[in-house]
Amino acid sequence: MKDAATPVLLEVRDLRTYFHTFSGTVRAVNGVSFEIGQGEVMGLVGESGGGKSVVGFSILGLIDSPGRIEGGEILLEGRDLVTAGEDHLRDVRGREISMVFQDPMTSLNPLHTVGRQMDEVLRLHSDLRADTRHRACVEMLESVGISRAAERLKAYPHQFSGGMRQRVVIAIAMLANPKLIIADEPTTALDVTIQSQILKLMRAQIADKGASMILITHDLAVVSEMADHITVLYCGNVVERGRTRDLIENPAHPYTRGLIDSIPDTSERLDRLNQIPGSVPDIRTLPAGCNFRDRCPRAQALCATEEPVLAPQHNGLMAACHFPLQPGERP
């Protein structure tokens, strides 16, 4: 997956996170595996309800009841986080792995100053003195492009715009120099004009610190600009993964093809946007066979009986499909 030269930072093996609800067990993440090398950006892509966010929260051990990690391993530099205790996980959260949430309007505590919320990270994860921490917060806030930082530390979140708040959230995420940032749809709630600013900022920050990133999004256009590798999730399973360029140009899985084709192409006039027919099935009652077959133009009898497994395809891609696309082929 990753380049042979870069050492592995995080390896997720056969992760299974289930939610035991009244109406049945939701297998939100059902056997997901991937790995990320140091300094790499991995895009985690799929439709809503595909289990992308649950993967992110599973890595941080933040799955709340009725959810549970039922199996698999999450190895951060070789140490398993699934079996680690809460104390160890607290040390990991914020210091080694941090998270950027989707909606900056709700991810900051409205009753605490921005400064206090930044300082909290350093208080938890360092032995620095108060004045040193304050200086670090000012520098961090400046580095995410907020002017008059010392003054702004005393302000409350409601005194910032959405884009500014997401900069604050990024500043908090970067503050303790984590090795991995999990960004869960970091630009979805922002104005289009702000989105590219925030993405540029995140790319600059992780490049600067040598950190890795998991970029969770439904927006293939965003990942294709940002990510080194892409993992595509469908119904809690990895259906395809590979290098960004190979996967975008010649995907092997019809689902990935469908996602790419739904990006509007501004160079040609269309009467209708392309879309994948149907919608994500109810994952409480998944039938046997391939989960995508009802929406797939290439589905055949085999797809209804046998679940495809990830297998090597052209250009080093991995895809779980009985009838994968060849380069240049259309479904």
Partner 1 sequence: MFGYLIKRLIQMLLVLWVVSVIVFLMMSFTGDPVFMVVPIDATDAEIAQARRLLGLYDSLLVQYWKFITSLVQGDFGRSYVFRQPAMTLILERMPATVEMVLVAMVLAVVVAIPLGVYAGANPNGRLSRIIMSSSLLGISLPGFWVGMVLIYLFAVNWGVFPSSGRGDTAEVFGLRVSLLTWDGWHHIALPAITLSLGTMAILLRMTRAGMMEVSRQDYMKFARAKGATRRDVLYKHGLKNALIPVVTIFGLQLGDLIAFATITETIFSWPGMGKLLIDSIYRADRPVIVVYLMLVALIFVVINFLVDIVYTLIDPRITLK
Among 27, 52, 93, 167, indicate the residue that binds partner 1 (CB under 8 A).
93
Q: How far is the CB of 103 from partner 1 (least distance, A)?
A: 6
Q: How far is the CB of 154 from partner 1 (least distance, A)?
A: 11
**Interaction between residue 160 and partner 1 (CB under 8 A):** no
Number of residues that bind partner 1 (CB under 8 A): 30
* Of residues 98 and 313, the one with the C-beta less far from partner 1: 98
Phi, psi of 67 (to 5 degrees): -85, 155
Say whether residue 108 binds partner 1 (CB under 8 A).
yes
* Residue 232 and residue 255 in contact, taking contact as beta carbons nearer than 8 Å: yes
Query: One symbol per residue from 67 to 86: x for binding partner 1 (CB under 8 A), - otherwise; what is it?
Result: -------------------x
State the burial class of residue 104 (Cβ atoms within 10 Å of its Cβ: 0-12, 13-18, 19+).
buried
Closest distance of CB 107 from partner 1, Å:
4
Shorter beta-carbon distance to partner 1: residue 181 or 276: 181
CB of 102 to partner 1, least distance (A): 8
116 versus 298: smaller Cβ distance to partner 1: 116
Q: Is 206 in the site for partner 1 (CB under 8 A)?
A: no
* Nearest distance from C-beta of residue 277 to partner 1, angstroms: 33
Is position 323 an interface residue for partner 1 (rule: CB under 8 A)? Answer: no
192 binds partner 1 (CB under 8 A): no
CB 91, min distance to partner 1, A: 7
- DSSP for 240-282 reads EEEEHHHHHHS-SSHHHHHHHHTSPPTTS--SS----SS----
Which residues neighbour 203 within 8 Å (Cβ) at sequence distance 6 or greater?
Answer: 41, 226
196 contributes a contact to partner 1 by CB under 8 A: no
Residues 257-265: contacts with CB within 8 Å, 24+ apart? 257/325, 257/330, 257/331, 258/295, 258/331, 259/45, 259/47, 259/220, 259/232, 260/220, 263/220, 263/221
Element at 55 (helix H, strand E):
helix 52-59
State yes or no: residue 156 binds partner 1 (CB under 8 A): yes
Asked whether position 186 contacts partner 1 by CB under 8 A, the answer is no
Q: Contact with partner 1 (CB under 8 A): which of 4, 5, 111, 270?
A: 111
Cα-Cα-Cα-Cα torsion 225, 212, 29, 15, nearest 10 degrees, comes to 140
Q: Which helix (H) or strand (E) holds 57?
A: helix 52-59
User: Is 98 a residue that touches partner 1 (CB under 8 A)?
Assistant: yes
- DSSP H or E stretch at residue 27: strand 24-37
Half-sphere exposure of 96 (CA within 13 A, CB side): 15
**Per-residue contact track with partner 1, 20 to 39, x per CB under 8 A?**
--------------------
By the criterion CB under 8 A, which residues form the site for partner 1? 57, 60, 62, 65, 86, 90-95, 98-99, 101, 103, 106-112, 120-121, 124-125, 156, 158, 169, 172
